[in-house]
Amino acid sequence: MNYPTKEDSVRGTEALDPLEVVMRYHQETKHHFFRYARSLGYMDWANQPDPFRRYEGAPLSALPLLRPDDAPLSPLYEDLYRGGPIVVAPVTVCSLSRFFEYSLAISAWKQAGELRWALRTNPSSGNLHPTEGYLLIDKVPSLSPFPGLYHYTAKEHALELRAEWSQEGFDSLMQEFPPKAFLVGFTSVNWRETWKYGERAFRYCQHDVGHAIGSARIAAQTLGWRMLLLDGTADDTVAALLGVDRPEDFEGAEREHSDCLAVVWPADQAAGLATGKTISFSLSLAPDAVRALTHRTWHGKANRLSRDDPVPWEILNQVEVASWKSSTERRVVELNHDRPSVAKLVVPSAHAASVYPDQPKAGQLIRQRRSALAFDGKTSISVGSFFAMLARVVPWVERDLCKRPMPWDVLPWEP
């Protein structure tokens, strides 16, 4: 499977600023009143990509399938937003299972005739799920006696070991973060969106990785964990850390585009600081430390997802190159240390109401997440519930980062 080189991708855009290339892509891939954006023009069902990536030959560790009444227990959904008591879960194979269950897992299977498809806890445009999740973590009992990089497999609810790393190297990489912290990485298989949406695929991949970030932040909140996007890390470093820059592991298979890294940590592990103190975080990883880690033995080869090669779109290659973060940004952010971080929302008293008066658990609602459709024009909700729902999707950018409501506190910039 041949992919364009960076030189091929920038041909015709050499004189343009990268931002101009991105904005041109945005304009050219808009739908219009009298035409849609360019795509293949039909659904090539025989070439539909497999929604499940596997690294064939990589050791697979099944995560425990937990019942709702198994520990760690889910808090009430309302407590995620109103500052109710949330127990801080230790980082174990069971809490990691919950984390992935609530962020990237299969939540249900549907069937119509002979067609059968999966729904997941994270939303996705067209249910195509281009986003892949990775975990870089210290040794965990019942998982591995060594630090390692894992790929999450939703179909099996399991972790594939991509690489084992030395304790010294892992400790060096994570030294600026609180104890028990781990990294979560996201990539996109752009072809899964290109197959249906053509030149608009890059839009949908960005859209879906945003959903994955939000889902992971909510999942972390249910466990009393915090999460912060390390957006100062160069894309080359992200790709190297996640192993998606290794052509030998993707021979004949569709490549993955590295998207981002985030650090996750239990809210009671912030370097022993008392509540109300501040902790400083670097928003980037040192490229040298990553290079030292990735000179290890890698496991597994990516499976091929489609029968035929992906349909090429030059404009997609151009915007990927133009939006690639080529340098590391040395930025530091300060956060308050709370157990856990919850910024209470201020809703006008006339509209103050619980969105869910029956007090369901967060896990129940996460597993029941569906796309909204088939509105009947009759069913209604109270105005109080409506305004409370709207308040939860407002980032409150006038507040300090640590005082913004979840999940907006994952973003170290003003949304």
Structural domain boundaries enclosing 242: 6-410
Residue 415, in any domain of the structure? no
- Block means of pLDDT (10 residues each) for the chain, 415 residues, are 46 75 97 93 94 98 97 94 86 98 97 92 95 98 95 99 94 92 98 97 98 98 96 95 97 97 88 59 87 86 97 96 91 68 47 64 94 86 88 86 87 85
Q: Where are the alpha helices (DSSP H) in 52-200?
A: 79-82, 93-103, 167-173, 190-197
Spell out the long-range contacts of 73-76 with Cβ–Cβ below 8 A and sequence spacing 24 or more. 73/361, 74/98, 74/222, 74/361, 74/362, 74/363, 74/364, 75/222, 75/361, 75/362, 76/359, 76/360, 76/361, 76/362
- Residue 208 φ/ψ region, left for φ over 0, alpha for ψ in the -120 to 50 degree band, beta for the rest: alpha
Residue 1, in any domain of the structure? no
User: Token digits for 111?
Assistant: 């069937």
Whole-number pLDDT of residue 354: 58
Whole-number pLDDT of residue 334: 81
Whole-number pLDDT of residue 4: 43
Task: Count the domains in the chain.
Answer: 1
Residue 39, in any domain of the structure? yes
- Closest Cα partner for 192 from 129, 250, 276? 129
Residue 276, in any domain of the structure? yes
Whole-number pLDDT of residue 355: 61
User: Token digits for 129?
Assistant: 């799920």
Q: Which residue has the tokens 């009393």?
A: 224
Whole-number pLDDT of residue 337: 57
Whole-number pLDDT of residue 182: 98
The CATH number for 57's domain is 3.40.109.10
Taking the C-alpha atoms of residue 186 and residue 258, their distance in angstroms, rounded to an integer, is 7
Residue 127, in any domain of the structure? yes
Q: Are 193 and 147 in contact (CB under 8 A)?
A: no
Whole-number pLDDT of residue 271: 46
Q: Are 188 and 209 in contact (CB under 8 A)?
A: yes
Residue 194, in any domain of the structure? yes
Q: Are 103 and 122 in contact (CB under 8 A)?
A: yes
Whole-number pLDDT of residue 272: 46
Q: Helix, strand or coil for residue 87? A: coil
Residue 179, in any domain of the structure? yes
Q: What angle do CA 406, 412, 415 make, to 5 degrees?
A: 70
